[in-house]
Amino acid sequence: MRQASVQSIFDDNRDRLGLHWLGGRQGGNRVLVADAGQRPSVGRVGHMNMIHPFRIQILGAVESEYLRSLGENERNRALERLVGDELVAVVVTNGEDVPGYLLERCNERHVALFTSPQPSPQVVDVIRLYLSRVLAESTTLHGVFLDVLEMGVLITGASAIGKSELALELISRGNGLVADDIVELFRISPDTIEGRCPAVLRDFLEVRGIGVLNIRTIFGETAVRPRKLLKLIVHLEDHSHEAFTDLDRLQVNATYQDVLSVPIRKVTIPVAAGRNLAVLVEAAVRNFVLNQRGIDSTQEFIERQQRLMDDDSQ
């Protein structure tokens, strides 16, 4: 099960947010798990909320002023609701002073208490994005994941069909490698899939007949990418000469493949001797970008033919 400990949240965001661990050190091993989203009444991170609590509560200037405005009895009741069983950490932002009663309550309940000089909306955004990546629903696919013309493209196909050789040619044309062989895919938002490379395979591309290549060493730092959003799947298929005659040369209806319940546009490219697959992949990416802008070349061609036929019939 995917999870993130309070200690890892602090370590991974300490430099960016200027975090300081003030109290509740015993709570460092408490965790947030990926299935927390199945409980709609408990969110992961947000500004102080007494009705729908968050696992990580953020106290900014407004929240701190609210607590200061309460009488002692009201404040104790508010703290009782705030520092509940679901809470794993409190972050006091904007450089606000931490009141002694909050520090004491966090130490009693073993709830980590952090401070940050950053504004509270910035802290919420950074931690929320961090958790969405760490706790994202994930899967793995076999293929080569590339950054082609600033677009995340996953090349799939049968073993030994030439995926790695195609990837090597695309890299030599200025595109970038994300992952070879095993691609880790994460759904970081309801309609966004991010592809990453397992740590053990990072920078490496295996090409039959040559061996394992370190792409970063051979082509330089710009030839590799740490991650990329998956936008297009290019599937390679081995076609004989006879099979080419049966292909639909005017594919009016786009095809998609579901990846973690997100539909991803899919293009199938036949593999045969003499075909420049690198050029075809780049052309497929450019055509996909045009489609995203509402420009469909196939449909334009069909409409032009229809107009010519209509003119001839008159």
Q: Which residues are catalytic?
A: 142, 163, 181, 249
Angle at 131 between CA 128 and CA 134, to 5 degrees: 155
Ranges of beta strands (E only) in the chain are 3-5, 20-23, 31-33, 43-47, 54-59, 89-92, 112-115, 137-148, 151-157, 176-189, 192-196, 204-207, 211-214, 227-238, 255-259, 262-271
DSSP state of 30: -
Rg for the chain, CA atoms, rounded: 26
Nearest Cα neighbor of 141 from 201, 216, 196, 217 is 196
For residue 251, the tally of other CB atoms under 10 A from its CB is 11
The end-to-end CA distance of the chain, in Å, is: 68
Let me know: does 199 contact 232? Beta carbons within 8 Å.
no
CA-CA distance, 284 to 295, in Å (whole number)? 13
3-state helix, strand, coil split of the chain in percent (to 5) is: 40, 35, 25
CA-CA distance, 123 to 93, in Å (whole number)? 8
Let me know: does 89 contact 114? Beta carbons within 8 Å.
yes
For residue 228, the tally of other CB atoms under 10 A from its CB is 24
